[in-house]
Amino acid sequence: MSESAQPARVSLSGAATRAVHAAERRRKPEQALVEPVFHTSTYTFDSMAEVDAFQAAHNQGGHIDRFEYGRYGNPTVAAAEARLAALEKTEAAILVASGMAALTYTFLHFLPSGSHIILTDDSYRRTRQFCETYLRRIQVDCTVVPWGDYAALEAAIRPETKVLFSEAPSNPYLRVLDVERFAEIGRKHGVTTVLDATLATPMNLNALAYGIDLVVHSATKYLGGHHDLLAGFIAGREEMITPLRDSIGIFGGISDPNTAFLLLRGMKTLALRVAQHNRNGQRVAEFLAAHPAVEQVYYPGLPTHPGHALAARQMSGYGGLVSFTVKGDRAATFRFIDALWLFYISPSLGGTESLILHPAAMAYSDCSPEARCQAGIPDNLVRLALGVEEAADLIDDLDQALRF
């Protein structure tokens, strides 16, 4: 069937359909089925008249259907950005070098010297470190408020507050943010709301639909899905993304076409993988909650989780991350981890292989015992990043290790 004979309108309402077809060019160079990888650092013009037309359109903020230089855009990168924007049901997205780059560039763009940011205390440790250490070097003040205390969040807003930041869900305790309420507070006070939705993915939560201004992802995790790339995304309305894109062209921490290609491939199976992550998370959490060697389980799919009702209302799945405390001390916890066979001891999450992390020994190893205690990171806490294996096999492995 020729392209002109395609149906005028085809529904892309299903998440799995969007993951495969949204923002996909029907006709690609050389009739390729898969988006090509464009290895070029610069682009040519046929004439100076074309240069003049390009620059005039750029200077006037108009749409420019071509590329000039690799730091400002690449066709493969643009395809990955369009796919993520479609999955988030928004207008635009930017692909950058890492999840932290997505956060730091967003903060640097929207937080001028003398401004103020508020973030919740369950935010990723490195995010807090950037705000509390590096932003303060450029006279940007930072306030950390308790997770779930929306009165404290609103009370902390000042005339110079420019950004409210949080995560959904948080890591490692999977705390669930009331995304709609968070967005309403920002909107009420004219403050930009930024949400790290890495753990939810666009399959389990479309935070922008609840009124959040910008969503950030560590694409290293579920979006890539295979533990083989580093990247980050920022998504939102065109009016916010366009000036941010211009800033990132100056900051320079862009992604490359090979990474974009891997992301395009990863996102095509995102719906399938997240569905399996969700199934594994629920089954493993239920198994652990009933195990005599387990002290407490943190998973929003469990009715005992304090955020369960909220998660059920605003999310379509609970994800593949499960945290729990082992009955015993640090040595007993280490013995359990070392006895596992299917789980790799490793940071990160969201890939096809299941991983296990000991937060105190790995993510907080440079902190004193007192600082870890204050952060709520005991020696018997472990975090599972469940892959796409069969849940029964993962459960068998966990059971034998807990009996070790």
> What pLDDT score does 12 carry?
76
pLDDT reading at 399 higher than 80: yes
* pLDDT level of residue 128 (50, 70, 90 thresholds): very high
The per-residue pLDDT for range 334-373, each reduced to its tens digit, is 999 999 999 999 999 999 999 999 999 987 888 888 888 8
- pLDDT by residue (tens digit) across 198-247? 999 999 999 999 999 999 999 999 999 999 999 999 999 999 999 999 99
For 133-152, what is the mean pLDDT?
96
Structure tokens at 126: 């490195």
Which of 18, 105, 122, 124 is flagged as catalytic?
Answer: 124
Active site residue 124: yes
Given a cut of 80, whether residue 283 has pLDDT beyond it is yes
Q: For residues 200 and 219, is the Cβ–Cβ distance under 8 A?
A: no
Q: Give the pLDDT score at 374.
A: 79
Q: What is the pLDDT of residue 341?
A: 97
User: What average pLDDT does this structure show over 320-342?
Assistant: 97
**Range in 35-39, 106-110, 228-232 with the lowest mean pLDDT:** 35-39
**Active-site position among 178, 196, 213, 379:** 196
Class of CATH domain 88-257:
alpha beta
Q: Which residue has the tokens 């930009």?
A: 192
Q: How far is CA 363 from CA 83, 90, 180, 281, in A?
A: 32, 33, 30, 22
Checking if the pLDDT of 322 tops 60, the result is: yes
Residue 259 pLDDT: 97
At 9, the pLDDT band (50, 70, 90 cuts) reads low
Residue 4 confidence (pLDDT) above 60: no
Query: Angle, nearest 10°, between helix axes 270-289 and 391-402?
Result: 30
User: Is 403 marked active-site?
Assistant: no
pLDDT at position 114 over 50: yes
- Among residues 83, 221, 273, 383, the one annotated as catalytic is 221
Domain assignments of the chain as residue spans, ordered by start: 88-257, 270-402
Q: With 80 as the cut, is the pLDDT of residue 11 above it?
A: no
Q: What is the pLDDT of residue 3?
A: 42
pLDDT digits (tens, 9 = 90+) for 186-212: 999 999 999 999 999 999 999 999 999
- What is the reported pLDDT for 174? 96
Rounded Cα distance, 143 and 128, in Å: 10
pLDDT exceeds cutoff 70 at 16: yes
CATH superfamily of 270-402: Aspartate Aminotransferase, domain 1 (3.90.1150.10)
pLDDT at residue number 10? 61
The 3 state secondary structure assigned to the chain is CCHHHCCCCCCCCCHHHHHHHCCCCCCCHHHCCCCCCCCCCECCCCCHHHHHHHHHHHHCCCCCCCCCEHHHCCHHHHHHHHHHHHHCCCCEEEEECCHHHHHHHHHHHHCCCCCEEEEECCCCHHHHHHHHHHHHHCCCEEEEECCCCHHHHHHCCCCCEEEEEEECCCCCCCCCCCHHHHHHHHHHHCCEEEEECCCCHHHHCCHHHHCCCEEEEECCCCCCCCCCCCCEEEEECHHHHHHHHHHHHHHCCECCHHHHHHHHHHHHCHHHHHHHHHHHHHHHHHHHHCCCCEEEEECCCCCCCCCHHHHHHHCCCCCCEEEEEECCCHHHHHHHHHHCCCCEECCCCCCCCCEEECCCCCCCCCCCHHHHHHCCCCCCEEEEECCCCCHHHHHHHHHHHHCC
| Catalytic site includes residue 196 | yes
When the pLDDT of each residue in the chain is averaged and rounded to a whole number, the result is 93
Check 28, 71, 265, 279 and give the catalytic one: 71
Q: What is the mean pLDDT of residues 291-302?
A: 97
Round to whole Å and give the CA distance between 216 and 214.
7
- Name the residue with tokens 């993988």: 273
- Is pLDDT at 2 greater than 60 in this prediction? no
